Amino acid sequence: MKMKVLGLLLSSLFLNLTAQNIQNNPGSNHGNKFEQLGTILPTPNVYRTASGAPGDQYWQNRADYDISAYLDEDKRNLKGSETITYHNNSPDNLDYLWLQLDENQQSNVKNADFQYSSTIPSVTTTERLRPTELPAQDNGYGVNIEKVTDASGKPLHFTVNKTMMRIDLPKVLKKGETIVFKIDWNYNIPNRMEKGGRGGYEYFPEDGNDLYTMTQWYPRMCVYSDFHGWQNYQFTGRGEFALNFGNFKVQMNVPADHIVGSTGVCKNYAEVLTPEQLARYHKAENASEPIEIVTLDEARKAEKSKSKQRKTWVFEASDVRDFAWTSSRKFVWDGMKVLIPENNNKVMAMSFYGKEAYGLYRKFSTKAVAHTIKTYSEFTIPYPYPVAQSVEAANGMEYPMICFNYGRTEKDGTYSEAIKNGMIGVVIHEVGHNFFPMIINSDERQWTWMDEGLNTFVEYLTEEKWDNKFPSKRGPAWTIVDYMKLPKDELEPIMTNSENIERFGPNAYSKPATGLNILRETIMGRELFDKAFKTYAQRWAFKHPEPADFFRTMEDASGEDLDWFWRGWFYGTDPVDISIDKVTTATPDFDGTPKSRQITYTVDKPDTPDFDDISKIRNREDKNITFLTDTDKNLQDFYYRYDRSEEKVDTVKKYTISNEPMEKATAKDISKLKNITAYQIDFSNKGGMVMPIILEFTFEDGSKLRDRIGAQIWRHNENKVSKAYYFDKKLKSVQLDPMLETADIDTSNNYWSASGSHETAMSKFQVFKEKEGKNVRGGANGKVNPMQAAEKK
């Protein structure tokens, strides 16, 4: 049915409803939700602009390292010597330097001493039931600084404050100057499976071998920045790292039968590999499928040999903020070539894993590495480094070009779908950290969300492109609902220091990732969001961004005012809970007979349907996306196949109010409008967080229509709003947020059904025909205000 609406005016019914809303909420509509962030954000300056880009005088300091390390497997001790070249590019003169001694967190006398409240447990173990020692006795862990000297060998005065060390300079390091100094140190390597932490060793009693993950293993320079000065907050084990970029040359002396994986490129494979292994490595450099460089058989044999000879592996890395490595005789090692088309970079994707993980890692790890760096390159910047590596080490942690992950099979080589998907997810997440924060180098010690949250968001996009049905736990809006339902005293803003966050995972990972996905899918749209997000990555690659730089860039590159979103989602704790309070219906009045009606309703929550997240549907519709599981025959045997059809939604016409001057409608007009029904839907914001209103209308003939109303509808009243629609079909039901896009915590008030309503008699609205060629005194544009016209009637 095709119709043209000449004009519709609301009767006194609608005017009274509007006036009543205003009267009931005087002044309550200004809760500051749409005000600009203003002084909440730092003032732009020559270092950081109001647009979110680095300023023309932006600077950052640099630290280059030359390190020699000796791994003593018998004593489980690491001995190291390093030469640091520190470049003061700041405009400030420095009279001391700060370094991080993160390994001191493992000491019970040198740690940061950030304690938690404790109580007497109702159940405990004999291991924990020990007399309290006061003061605490040294457990033998933590860094032992042997000496600190200048380039000539002259001692430099230093002071250790828990996990930080200050070096007092004999003379001021002026702006633009460079200093070279040396540090010798050692520490006992902890059993990370017992003591926790990111670095240490894991012991395998079945074969009597260790697997070492060497992380936070050398004294590292703190960041000195324009926005913070020295970032020397203590390391407690949670808030991660603030680090400088630099070049590394590292030599690791290890048992001769160990295989070493590391940040950077090995410079002496010909000396440390067998001729057969070296040949396989060169073959893998041009392979499109992973090739075993060290085979499973070779790894099994090495587990039994336990050589007492030594080998030194040499690695170099440029423009990285950190350096980590792994060493064990247990490793199987495979690799393949990955081409990053955006910069034509040929990357060596590799994996290291023991026999315990062979059944999973051989099939999936290196391919997941390759898929991750390619997908992240599309959404951020082209991957710039020559290698990307995944190491199975029963945990998850990230470093430049190398990361540690979990995922072991049962002893018979079998595994569950949950273990497989968890392993793939953690590989994607940790490899993805190469971009956030290894390249886009945020301050993790202060803002965990800037690396974990942003990375988790792109992880979700990458999982989607791996398999459209991947069971992602973080990213889709509905997955954050249980967290947002918690009492307010268990919630904290995303903009909270890492050490003070309660419920760390949801706050630092899930909520920011979900917020970005809502921005992309529901608020900004993919085109605007993707351009702005990529602009942020490009602007701040190999630099030190702050939250304001991200917020401002997202707005600057998209033309969207998002201060209301940052204010609510990042600075606040209010959840989303939008309610359909009432639906009022009316029909046109052509003869003055009051036949209209107002319908109220009782909530009728429909059965929760099986549904796909909005991202999954749009990805299937995007012809430019090819899912890895659709194209890689080697992976098809390991995935369920899914029916990816979706129900088509019919469309019907909707009608709006005309602001033109009007007169009574003619009989011809009446015949066109006789099937029109008006519906006023009243909403309330029960949760506090404003959000777009997304509606799905279902009509009596079975057809459907969807409408998306921007969050700005709440700008004049943040508590209650109404929206009127005019349809030429009868409404059967209205569903709010049908695809669960907004993280609404209570869907029981998101549904209205005509069958669940009761009626009360109300006035109808009058219909007029617009006048031609005449202007009536009224608004600034010379046109009558329809409300005033109705009042005069």
C-alpha span between 293 and 324 (Å, rounded):
21
Q: Are 558 and 650 in contact (CB under 8 A)?
A: no
End-to-end Cα, the chain, rounded Å: 31
Residue 588: what pLDDT? 81
The model's pTM: 0.87
Instruction: Name the percent of the chain lying above pLDDT 70.
Output: 83
Mean pLDDT along residues 474-479? 95
- pLDDT band (50, 70, 90) for residue 654: very low
Q: pLDDT of 215-269, one tens digit each?
A: 999 999 999 999 999 999 999 999 999 999 999 999 999 999 999 999 999 999 9
Least confident of 239-248, 307-316, 455-464, 663-672: 663-672
Q: Which tokens hold the place of 556? A: 């600057």
Q: Which residues pair with 338 in a beta bridge?
A: 347
Least confident of 39-43, 297-301, 559-563: 39-43
Residue 534: what pLDDT? 98
Q: Give a three-class secondary structure readout of 67-91.
A: EEEEEECCCCEEEEEEEEEEECCCC
Q: Is the pLDDT of residue 648 over 90?
A: no
Q: Which tokens hold the place of 244? A: 């400088």
Q: Are 516 and 453 in contact (CB under 8 A)?
A: yes
Contacts by 709-714 with C-beta closer than 8 Å and gap 24+?
710/523, 711/523, 711/564, 711/565, 712/34, 714/33, 714/34, 714/685, 714/690
Is the Cα dihedral 605, 606, 611, 615 positive or negative?
Answer: negative
Exposed (0-12), middle (13-18) or buried (19+): which is 312, by Cβ within 10 Å? Answer: middle
Q: Is the pLDDT of residue 758 over 80?
A: no
At 544, give phi and psi (nearest 5°). Answer: -115, 90
* Average pLDDT of the residues of the chain: 87
Q: Is the pLDDT of residue 736 over 70?
A: yes
Each residue of 336-348: b (16+ CB within 10 Å) or e? bbbebeeeebebb
Top-confidence residue, 31 or 183: 183
Q: Are 246 and 62 in contact (CB under 8 A)?
A: yes
Q: Is the pLDDT of residue 658 over 50?
A: no
For 182, the 3-state DSSP assignment is: strand
Instruction: Look at residues 620, 544, 563 and name the one whose alpha carbon lies nearest to residue 241.
Output: 544
C-alpha span between 272 and 259 (Å, rounded):
9
Instruction: Look at residues 756, 753, 736 and name the one whose alpha carbon lies nearest to residue 578.
Output: 736
Q: Which tokens hold the place of 462? A: 């990458």
Least confident of 6-15, 111-120, 313-322, 557-566: 6-15
Mean pLDDT along residues 134-142? 92
Q: Give a three-class secondary structure readout of 562-575.
A: CHHHHHHHHCCCCC
Q: Is the pLDDT of residue 430 over 70?
A: yes
Least confident of 66-80, 215-229, 508-522, 649-663: 649-663
Q: Is the pLDDT of residue 146 over 80?
A: yes
Instruction: Look at residues 694, 678, 676, 699 and name the one whose alpha carbon lies nearest to residue 753.
Output: 699
Q: Is the pLDDT of residue 1 over 60?
A: no
Q: Is the pLDDT of residue 770 over 90?
A: no
Q: Are 614 and 771 in contact (CB under 8 A)?
A: no
Q: Are 183 and 148 in contact (CB under 8 A)?
A: yes
Other CB atoms within 10 A of residue 164 CB: 20
Q: How far is CA 410 from CA 204, 304, 355, 359, 416, in A?
A: 15, 22, 11, 9, 9
Enclosing H/E stretch for 733: strand 731-736
Greatest distance between any 2 Cα atoms in the chain: 104
Each residue of 171-189: b (16+ CB within 10 Å) or e? eebeeeeebebbbbbbbbb
Residue 667: what pLDDT? 65
Q: Are 595 and 763 in contact (CB under 8 A)?
A: no
In eight-state DSSP terms, residue 510 is: I
Query: DSSP string covering 281-302, please?
Result: HHHHTT-SS-EEEE-HHHHHHH
Q: Are 14 and 773 in contact (CB under 8 A)?
A: no
Q: Which tokens hold the place of 770? A: 């617009």
C-alpha span between 545 and 53 (Å, rounded):
9
Sheet of 209-214: strand order equals 200-204, 209-214, 325-328, 259-262
Q: Residue holding tokens 């490793």?
A: 331
Q: Which residues pair with 202 in a beta bridge?
A: 211
C-alpha span between 138 and 340 (Å, rounded):
50
Sheet of 654-655: strand order equals 578-586, 677-685, 720-727, 654-655
Other CB atoms within 10 A of residue 36 CB: 12
Q: Which residues pair with 188 in a beta bridge?
A: 77
Query: C-alpha dihedral over 488, 489, 491, 492, to 10 degrees?
Result: 110
Instruction: Look at residues 473, 556, 505, 472 and name the one whose alpha carbon lies nearest to residue 48.
Output: 556
Mean pLDDT along residues 72-78? 98
Mean pLDDT along residues 159-183? 98
At 454, give phi and psi (nearest 5°). Answer: -65, -40
In eight-state DSSP terms, residue 725 is: E
C-alpha span between 25 and 18 (Å, rounded):
11
Residue 129: what pLDDT? 84
Other CB atoms within 10 A of residue 353 CB: 29
Q: pLDDT of 5-27, one tens digit each?
A: 333 333 333 333 333 343 344 44
- pLDDT band (50, 70, 90) for residue 134: confident
Q: Which tokens hold the place of 61? A: 């300091």
Exposed (0-12), middle (13-18) or buried (19+): which is 41, by Cβ within 10 Å? Answer: middle
C-alpha span between 171 and 94 (Å, rounded):
9
Q: Are 440 and 545 in contact (CB under 8 A)?
A: yes
- pLDDT band (50, 70, 90) for residue 771: low
Mean pLDDT along residues 83-89? 98
Enclosing H/E stretch for 530: helix 526-540
Each residue of 200-229: b (16+ CB within 10 Å) or e? bbbeeeebebbbbbbbbbbbbbbbbbbbbe
Q: Which residues pair with 568 in a beta bridge?
A: none
- pLDDT band (50, 70, 90) for residue 630: low
Residue 611: what pLDDT? 64
- pLDDT band (50, 70, 90) for residue 792: very low
Q: Residue holding tokens 């409608």?
A: 665
606: Cβ contacts below 8 Å, ≥ 6 apart = 733, 735, 751
C-alpha span between 333 and 365 (Å, rounded):
11
Instruction: Name the percent of the chain lying above pLDDT 90.
Output: 76
What angle is formed at CA 491 by the lines to CA 488 and CA 493, rounded to 5 degrees? 120
Mean pLDDT along residues 775-790? 35
Q: Where does 127-248 have alpha helices with state H? A: 192-195
In eight-state DSSP terms, residue 734 is: E
Phi-psi region of 113 (alpha: psi -120 to 50; beta: other; left: phi over 0): left
Helices 452-466 and 614-621, interaxial angle, to 10°? 50
